Every structure is written in C-alpha cells, then in structure tokens.
Amino acid sequence: MVETGEELALMRVSGRLLASVFEMLDRMDLAGLSTLAVNDRVERFITDTLKARPASKTDRSRRRDVGRVRRAEPARPGVRVRARR
C-alpha cells in the first residue's frame, strides 16, 4: 500500500508521540506497579501532556485494517474468529 504525503506526515507525528511516551516510561520507576497502574499513567500522559487520544480509545470503526481478517490467511488452530456485524 502506498501512502500519500499527508498520511506519511501523520505517521511521523504518531511516531514522535510514541517516542515521547517511551521516554516518559524510561524516566519512571515502574518497580512494584501493576500493568493497570502503568497503563493509567501512560494514558494520563497522552491525554494531559501530549493532548492526544490514546489508540486504545480510538473508535475502531474509523481505523482501516484494524481487526480485519483476510480470507486468504489460514485460520490458526483453536482460535475462533468472530463474524463482523
């Protein structure tokens, strides 16, 4: 898939935001924190400091190719795939 210049620019911005999240995590002392507590801190950093929306809070119906199952791909044994509504 070939991206447009606008899509590439958005991908660069997303990459910079993600890099800043990892830098914030590198500065944090995570010892003894649950994954939920780390997730909450990261989400707060993204919304309050970066003024962005976490990908986990994005409306999945607007994101292309997320969760899309291609018919050509063989199913993994023991994994059920729900039909799209």
The pLDDT-based confidence of 37 (bands split at 50, 70, 90) is very high
Which helix (H) or strand (E) covers residue 40, if one does? helix 35-44
What would the two tokens of residue 42 be? 């990261």
pLDDT value of residue 63: 54
Yes or no: say if 43 and 35 are a contact pair by the CB < 8 Å rule.
no
Instruction: With a cut of 80, say whether residue 38 has pLDDT above it.
Output: yes
Q: What's the mean pLDDT when you consider all of the chain? A: 79
Indicate the pTM of the whole model.
0.62
